[in-house]
Amino acid sequence: MNYEKLPVVESIRQSPPLDFEGTVDDTWVKDKTILITGGASGFGAGFCKRWAARGATIIIGDINVPGGEKLIAETRMETGNANLHFVPCNVTDWMSQVEFFKAAVKLSPHGGIDTVVANAGIAKSDPSFENPQDLDTANPPPPDMSVLNVNLTGVVYTTHLAVFYLKRNPGSSPANPKCKPADIQRDRHLLLISSCAGLMPIPGQAFYGASKHAVVGLYRNLRATSFVHGIRVNMLAPYFIDTPMVPTRLKVMLAGGHIGKAEDVIEAATRFTADPRIAGRAAVVGPKLRVKQDAKGDWDLAKTPQDGEEKAIWEVYPDDFEDSDLFQR
């Protein structure tokens, strides 16, 4: 893509490719109001702790009430930040999400929401789906729709409410990749959490893969149109990352450098959240690999431990689909 010749930034307010080098400057999240679905555990809890430490107002919504309340109590103690709140929320229930967003606006010191992270998700395989034992009976049972309900319907509800509230964020102006962060106080940011399972198949996880592919579709559509509402939309697609979602037997299988760390996902999410110039970009986050770039700009694994650099966060490009299919084979 030639960003010099095509007016991508001006026409759809999409940023040019990102530079993930170095540590992100997260100071801009101070005084932002950030709403996180599924914030009681894993990535959501990590986002909460990182941004709370920088002075953001965080409102997490989750079905895990004891976990959410404990996280907020602990994080208040650790950071001294009183603007941290838990609101019970089941993302599959429209009215539950409406009440969550309404509560967030009430709890927000400036009466608006700057960033919404559509993070809640579950993983579960349904072995009967591709091999339904009961098809020969008169009444075959329906498939288990819970993964699609949480990971797709839930994300669609969150997105719908995010677009409604973000553009009404008092004092915000339309997101603009050419803005100067120091000059603006309020944001309109939606961060979608897909997965590598949204870019490549994970055999045996048809519903999870379908739901995460759907989130990629949502992201690609929204980034082309959400500028109408001045909303910047970004997406993360983590590989297997060490959180409670990954079962122990899989963690054992992936041991030895094949599972990523939540801290890199939090770093990538912070880069998107702490920089209002980033719009319409997506990153894959995986285990740190030692890699080297050739003269053409292509990356390959480094030959020796002294060679190249360590990288866990990568931008997503359409030609990555071929590579990922080959990887699965």
Ligand X SMILES: NC(=O)c1ccc[n+]([C@@H]2O[C@H](COP(=O)([O-])OP(=O)(O)OC[C@H]3O[C@@H](n4cnc5c(N)ncnc54)[C@H](O)[C@@H]3O)[C@@H](O)[C@H]2O)c1
Active site residues: 208, 212
Contact call for residue 241 and ligand X (CB under 6 A): yes
In the complex with ligand X, which residue's Cβ is closer, 193 or 274? 193
Residue 171 Cβ vs ligand X, minimum distance, rounded to whole Å: 29
**Whole-number Å distance between alpha carbons of 18 and 272:** 10
Pairing of strands 57-62, 299-301: unpaired
> Does 246 interact with ligand X (rule: CB under 6 A)?
yes
Which residues, 6 or more positions from 140, have their beta carbon under 8 angstroms from its beta carbon?
Answer: 132, 134
Crossing angle of helices 42-53 and 262-273, rounded to 10°: 50
- Contact pick of 91, 163, 233, 313 for ligand X (by CB under 6 A): 91
Among 112, 209, 238, 286, the residue binding ligand X under the rule CB under 6 A is 238
286 binds ligand X (CB under 6 A): no
Sign of the four-CA dihedral 202, 204, 205, 210: positive
Minimal distance, residue 31 CB to ligand X, in Å: 25
Q: Does 41 bind ligand X (CB under 6 A)?
A: yes
The DSSP-derived string for 211-278 is HHHHHHHHHHHHHHHGGGGT-EEEEEEE-SBSSTTS-HHHHHHTTTT-SB-HHHHHHHHHHHHT-TT-
Establish if 254 lies at the interface with ligand X (CB under 6 A): no
Asked whether the beta carbons of 29 and 56 are under 8 A apart, the reply is yes
Give the binding range for ligand X (CB under 6 A) out of 17-25, 42-50, 216-224, 306-314: 42-50
Say whether residue 234 binds ligand X (CB under 6 A).
no
Print the binding letters for residues 45-64 with ligand X: x by CB under 6 A, - otherwise.
Answer: -----------------xxx
Q: Is the dihedral of CA 142, 146, 151, 157 positive or negative?
A: positive
Q: Are strands 282-293 and 299-301 parallel, antiparallel or unpaired?
A: antiparallel
- Residue 301's beta-bridge partner residues? 291
- Return d(Cα 20, Cα 1) in angstroms, integer: 19
Task: Return the residues of window 143-202 that contact ligand X according to CB under 6 A.
Answer: 150, 154, 193, 195
In angstroms, what is the minimal distance from the CB of 116 to ligand X? 14
Q: How far is the CB of 85 from ligand X (least distance, A)?
A: 15
- H or E element that contains 144: none
Among 159, 156, 132, smallest CA distance to 144 is for 132
Closest C-alpha to 275, from 179, 156, 197: 179
Q: How far is the CB of 45 from ligand X (least distance, A)?
A: 7
Q: Pick from 9, 122, 202, 291 the residue near ligand X by CB under 6 A.
A: 122
Sole binder of ligand X in the list 119, 159, 205, 270 (CB under 6 A): 119
The distance of closest approach from Cβ of residue 89 to ligand X in the complex, given in angstroms and rounded to an integer, is: 5
Binder among 51, 165, 240, 272 for ligand X (CB under 6 A) = 240
Closer residue to ligand X (CB): 104 or 241: 241
Q: Please state the closest distance from residue 66 (CB atom) to ligand X, in A.
A: 11
Cα–Cα distance for residue pair 244/281, rounded to 1 Å: 27
Indicate whether 90 belongs to the interface with ligand X (CB under 6 A): yes
Nearer to ligand X, 73 or 228 (CB): 73
Strands 232-238 and 299-301: unpaired
- What the block records as the tokens of 189 is 């940011």
By CB under 6 A, name the binding residues for ligand X.
37-38, 40-44, 62-64, 89-92, 119-122, 150, 154, 193, 195, 238, 240-241, 243-246
